[in-house]
Structure 1
Amino acid sequence: MSLLTYACQHLPGVTVIAVGGELDATNASRLESFIDESRRRPDDHLVFDLTEMCFLDSSGLRVLLNAYTYGTRQGGSVRLAALRPMPARMVQITRIDAHLPVHPTVAEALTTVLAPPTPAPDNGDSVA
C-alpha cells in the first residue's frame, strides 16, 4: 500500500486539505472519505495543498474531480495548489487544469477564493 497523508484546516470561508505522498488506486477511496468528512457544508470552498504529493495517478485525479463536481454543483469551488512536477504533469496531460484551477502556492489559491467577486461592468444600458 502506498503511503498517503492528509490533514484538514478550516479557515473562514475555505477548507484547506493538505495531501502528501502517493495518491493512487490503493488509497484513493481513503482520501475521498476524508474529503467528505472534512467538508463543513456542501458548498465549501476547498483548496488542496499538494506541496507534499509526489505521485498522482488516474484514481487520484478521479477523487479530485469528484470533489470539484460535487462542490461546484453545490455552489462551492475546488482549487489545487503547489503541485510538484510529476502531479503537475499528470494534471497538464489530462487537461484537468482547464476545469480545476491550479495555483503555484496555497497563499495564491486562498487569496483567489477569498477575494470579493468583481462587479460586472456597467455598460450604460440601465434604465433610470
Structure 2
Amino acid sequence: MTPLTITSRDAATGPVLEITGDLDYTSAPELRRLLDQLALMAGQQLVLDLTGLAFCDSSGISALLAARSRAMEQDATVALAAVPANTARILRVVGLDRVFALYPDAAAAVARTSVTDLTA
C-alpha cells in the first residue's frame, strides 16, 4: 500500500493536482475533501495529474467522477493526465474514457493538446 499524496499547483488554465500513491477506499475521501475546498472559476480546467498513481479502485474512480461533478458545478472542466495503463483500462471498460478529457501528461493537458488514445 502506497500512501496517497496530493500536491497542488496553479497553471494558466487552472489548478493542477498531482496525485501519487493509492487512490482507494481509505484514501479517496481525502481527494474528495480537497475537491470540496477547491474554488474553480468558470472556464478553468482542473487537471488531475496521475503520473504517480500506483493503484486505483472503484472508490478512486468515484472520486475522479466527483472531481468532474465539482468542476461542472463551477462551469469548469476536468482533465486526466498521464493515466496509468491499469487505470486507463478500467476507464475504457466502463466507458469513462469518453467522459473525461485524457492527455499524455500535465503539460499537454494545460496546453489542451494531444488527447491520449486509450484504445491500445
- Structure 1, unmatched stretches of 5+, are 114-128
- Asked if structure 2 preserves the Cα contact closer than 8 Å seen for 1:56 and 1:90, the reply is no
Q: Percent identity?
A: 31
SS at match of 1:78: strand
Q: TM-score, normalised by structure 2?
A: 0.84
Shift of 1:33: 0.7
1:2–1:26: 8 Å Cα contact kept in structure 2?
Answer: no
Instruction: Compare CA radii of gyration and give the structure with the larger one.
Output: 1
User: What number of residue pairs does the alignment pair up?
Assistant: 112
- In the superposition, the TM-score normalised over structure 1's length comes to 0.79
C-alpha distance in 2 between matches for 1:29 and 1:2: 16
Stretches of 4+ moved more than 4 A in 1? none
Once residues 56 and 42 of structure 1 are traced to their aligned partners in structure 2, the CA distance between those partners, rounded to angstroms, is 28
Q: Which consecutive residues of structure 2, in runs of 5 or more, have no partner in the other structure? A: 114-120
Alignment of 1:35-54 (within 5 A): 35-37=35-37, 39-41=38-40, 43=42, 44-54=44-54
Partner SS, residue 50 of structure 1: strand
Q: CA RMSD in A?
A: 1.8
Distance 1:95 1:81 in 2: 17
